[in-house]
Structure 1
Amino acid sequence: MNEDDRAGEFGPIYLPALQRIRDLWLELEPIVEATSYDDVVAPTELQVSLSDGLGDAESARFDIQWSELGMYSFHYVDSDDVNWRFDRHPNTHSPETHFHPPPEAATTAAEPSCIDVTEVSLVTRAVHAMWRAAYEGDDVDQLNSASNPP
């Protein structure tokens, strides 16, 4: 996540949310290979590693942040250097809740997110549902196409 992408306050990282997100990914996704935090003492990001990715990618990772203010970033990157992300944070380029499409997840390409829910478990389930639909359908156009998932 590019910190310059945020125009307003994101807020401090909320560790209980990251723990809940980790537990949900482990429960929902059979190809989760590992989960970790960027820092064991003061984590700012949860990393969920997958044993496969979209298209021809052989592996993928989600870098996830969730703040005490309910702001978030679910950033996907894979072994083919494809990036996309679902974000919620104040900014100058799009609605507060938005989606940066693949392959670069460019700041300037942000579009409104199909995810309307704001509760940590529901947002996680929605991102997972979008990832799973794109993965099973081998179609990245499915990533931001549902009507208010999950």
Structure 2
Amino acid sequence: MSGDDRAGEFGPIYLPALQRIRDLWLELEPLVDVTSYDDIVAPTELHISLSDGLSNAESARLDIQWSKQGMYSFHYVDSDNVNWRFDRHPNAHSPEIHFHPPPNAATTTAEPSCIDVTEVSLVTRAIHAMWRAAYEDDDSAQLNSASNPP
């Protein structure tokens, strides 16, 4: 995610949240190939690689940030170069909690997120559930369509 998309304070990365997100994806999603951090000493981003993606994509990756202030970014990109992301951060273009739809997750197309919860496990479960529904039904419109997930 571009830092230009954020206004105000995102805050320092909260490693225990990234560890919890990693553990939940490993528990919930059989398509997880591997997880890693961008920096082994001072991680700022969790990477979750998937062995399949939406539609015809052969693989996908989630790049995730979570701050000590509860701000987050779950950014999906796949082998077909489709992008979308769920964010919570101060900005000038949309509500604090918002969704950037596929195919390019453009800042200008941000819309309110259907996720109302803010606790790390609940946000993670909500995003996973919507991704899984979109994957199984081959319908990316399901990514931001649940009613108060999870």
TM-score, normalization: structure 2? 1.00
Query: Following TM superposition, by how much is the alpha carbon of 1:46 offset from its aligned partner in structure 2, in angstroms?
Result: 0.1
Q: Corresponding residue for 1:53? A: 53
- Matched AA of 2:146: A
Query: Map of 1:132-147 to 2, 5 A cutoff?
Result: 132-147=132-147
Q: Does 1:72 align with 2:72?
A: yes
Identical-residue share of aligned pairs (%): 85
Q: Corresponding residue for 1:11? A: 11
Q: Corresponding residue for 2:149? A: 149
Mapped to 1, the partners of 2:113 and 2:105 lie a distance apart of 13
- Matched AA of 2:92: T
Query: Following TM superposition, by how much is the alpha carbon of 1:33 offset from its aligned partner in structure 2, in angstroms?
Result: 0.2
Could you give the per-residue CA deviations for residues 67-104 of structure 1, whole angstroms, max 9, x where no partner exists? 00000000000000000000000000000000000000
Mapped to 1, the partners of 2:49 and 2:148 lie a distance apart of 26
Mapped to 2, the partners of 1:18 and 1:87 lie a distance apart of 15
* Secondary structure of residue in 1 paired with 2:128: helix
* Secondary structure of residue in 1 paired with 2:144: coil
* Secondary structure of residue in 2 paired with 1:143: helix
Mapped to 1, the partners of 2:123 and 2:2 lie a distance apart of 20
Q: Does 1:123 align with 2:94?
A: no
Mapped to 2, the partners of 1:2 and 1:108 lie a distance apart of 13
Unaligned runs of 5+ in 2: none
Q: Corresponding residue for 2:97? A: 97
* Secondary structure of residue in 2 paired with 1:141: helix
* Secondary structure of residue in 2 paired with 1:22: helix
* Secondary structure of residue in 2 paired with 1:87: strand
Query: Following TM superposition, by how much is the alpha carbon of 1:119 offset from its aligned partner in structure 2, in angstroms?
Result: 0.1
Query: Following TM superposition, by how much is the alpha carbon of 1:139 offset from its aligned partner in structure 2, in angstroms?
Result: 0.3
Q: CA RMSD in A?
A: 0.3
Query: Following TM superposition, by how much is the alpha carbon of 1:137 offset from its aligned partner in structure 2, in angstroms?
Result: 0.6
TM-score, normalization: structure 1? 1.00
Q: Would you identify which runs of 4 or more consecutive aligned residues in structure 1 move more than 6 Å?
A: none
- Matched AA of 1:30: P
* Secondary structure of residue in 2 paired with 1:75: strand
Q: Corresponding residue for 2:22? A: 22
Mapped to 2, the partners of 1:62 and 1:127 lie a distance apart of 11
- Matched AA of 2:82: V
Unaligned runs of 5+ in 1: none
Query: Following TM superposition, by how much is the alpha carbon of 1:140 offset from its aligned partner in structure 2, in angstroms?
Result: 0.4
